[in-house]
Structure 1
């Protein structure tokens, strides 16, 4: 699965309008993530700035590629920051950030992402499906959910430190 998802990420990195800024295959440094978090930004650099405090801040979209099933979801536009000394700021994917395409301001990029995923047999799922409740009494080890009432999102996209 990891090799397959690396191929998908490489293909995402080849779309004309976007570039992969970061792909988290390492489970955020600990624990287990049932997905690979891929952060994409505008290839032309227009969503990147260097702040006076030395941080480079990059606006973009995240795609969560599920390791458990051939599905993915796109998360609302957000920013990632990193500093030359290794510090950084990022946010984990949460159900409330899952969005549908087209994405205002990112229409072309969203279409390109959809096309790549489709070529790889990955279905893009949106908030309408992911908000549905999971089976009653299901317990999921995740820091992303807010059990005891889990959603379909929690079933497919979970992370435990």
Structure 2
């Protein structure tokens, strides 16, 4: 993509033993969203795309920041339902369009918060560390 570049992709499972999605963090290709702090941390603003491993769907999460330090420390947010956003994100319009085009090219459909916030089956229990409460949502089903 001319506007965005992959900064990090998490294929692991966040310590849960399994993840039904891949978390891809993208930032501006021109480096304008990357800043090095005096304490050695590099902070990078960008968008996360959660790619479902169970079905050809994905969701885009609101802009967030990742940081890392040469000593191995750093921080980032886990994907969560309240961060799922609709297209187009102000300030990231061109990048969002490019994400959508790449996903379309691969037959992957973007889903938004209206669908993902719908309740799952009433008695469904999903072993997830991303759940936001006692009742599971469609987000919990596809991105656990």
TM class by smaller structure: over 0.9
* 1:26-74 per-position Cα deviation (integer Å, ceiling 9, x unaligned): 2235521110000000000000000011100000000000001100000
- How far is 1:88 from its partner? 1.0
Q: Does 1:62 align with 2:48?
A: yes
SS in 1 for 2:107: coil
2:138 — aligned with what?
152
Q: Could you tell me which residue of structure 2 aligns to residue 86 of structure 1?
A: 72
Residue pair 2:20, 2:52 contacting (<8 A) in 1 also: yes
Task: Kindly indicate whether residue 39 of structure 2 is the aligned counterpart of residue 75 of structure 1.
Answer: no
The alignment of Structure 1 onto Structure 2 pairs a total of residues equal to: 144
Mean alpha-carbon deviation: is it higher for 141-150 or for 85-94? 141-150
Distance between the aligned counterparts of 1:18 and 1:64, measured in 2? 16
**TM-score, normalised on structure 2?**
0.97
The answer for unaligned runs of 5 or more in structure 1 is 1-14
1:41 maps to what in 2?
Answer: 27
TM-score, normalised relative to structure 1: 0.87
Structure 2 unmatched runs, 5+:
none
Bigger helix fraction: 1
> 1:15-35 CA distances to partner (integer Å, 9 max, x unpaired)?
000000000012235521110
